[in-house]
């Protein structure tokens, strides 16, 4: 399904042109308009899925293969020394475009700090509650 008012549906299907790195039957990979680093790319399924909870499982599996292919090409083509996959689900998590996508962000020696968090702590009691809260919903 393609959503008429969705910018990523339009970009993924070539309705709006974008700098494309890769395309197959299921995906288009484009450069992010506001890159976190040189080569920051977005893997966009051609069909509309709101987020990971809405994504077709087979498409999800293929998306990871595309990410690996892209990452390898970035390591040799851009001379980055690593890359992050970032995938936001929900506004609280930073999702601004409600069409599933995976960020592939090349990382460079001495490049800016990103995709980092301050490690916290958790008690054994809290751990037990969290395990129960999640596993009871699986």
Q: Does 48 bind Zn ion (CB under 5 A)?
A: yes
Q: Which of 40, 48, 101, 103 is catalytic?
A: 101
The option from ligand 5GP, Zn ion, none interacting with 107 (CB < 5 to 8 A, set by class) reads none
> Which of 1, 3, 100, 133 is close enough to bind Zn ion by CB under 5 A?
3
The separation between CA 73 and the C-alpha centre of its own chain, rounded to angstroms, equals 17
Q: Is 99 a catalytic site residue?
A: no
The option from Zn ion, ligand 5GP, none interacting with 34 (CB < 5 to 8 A, set by class) reads ligand 5GP
- E strands, 12-113, in order: 20-23, 27-31, 41-45, 82-86, 102-107
Number of residues in the chain:
138
The option from Zn ion, ligand 5GP, none interacting with 84 (CB < 5 to 8 A, set by class) reads none
What are the contacts of 23-26 at 24+ separation with CB within 8 A?
A: 24/66, 26/59, 26/62
132 phi/psi in degrees, rounded to 5: -65, -45
Catalytic residues: 101
Q: Which parts of this chain interact with Zn ion (CB under 5 A)?
A: 3, 6, 8-9, 48, 99
């Amino acid at each position: 399904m393609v959503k008429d008012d969705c910018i990523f549906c339009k970009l993924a299907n070539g309705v709006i042109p974008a700098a494309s790195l890769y395309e197959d039957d299921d995906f288009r990979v484009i450069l992010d308009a506001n890159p976190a680093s040189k080569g920051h790319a977005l893997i966009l399924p051609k069909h509309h899925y709101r987020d990971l909870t809405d994504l077709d499982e087979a498409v999800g599996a293929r998306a990871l293969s595309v990410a690996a292919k892209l990452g390898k090409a970035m390591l040799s083509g851009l001379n980055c020394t690593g890359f992050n996959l970032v995938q936001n689900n929900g506004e609280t998590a930073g999702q601004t475009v409600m069409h599933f996508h995976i960020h592939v962000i090349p990382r460079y020696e001495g490049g800016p700090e990103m995709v980092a968090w301050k490690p916290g702590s958790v008690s054994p009691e809290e751990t037990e509650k969290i395990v129960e809260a999640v596993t009871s919903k699986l």
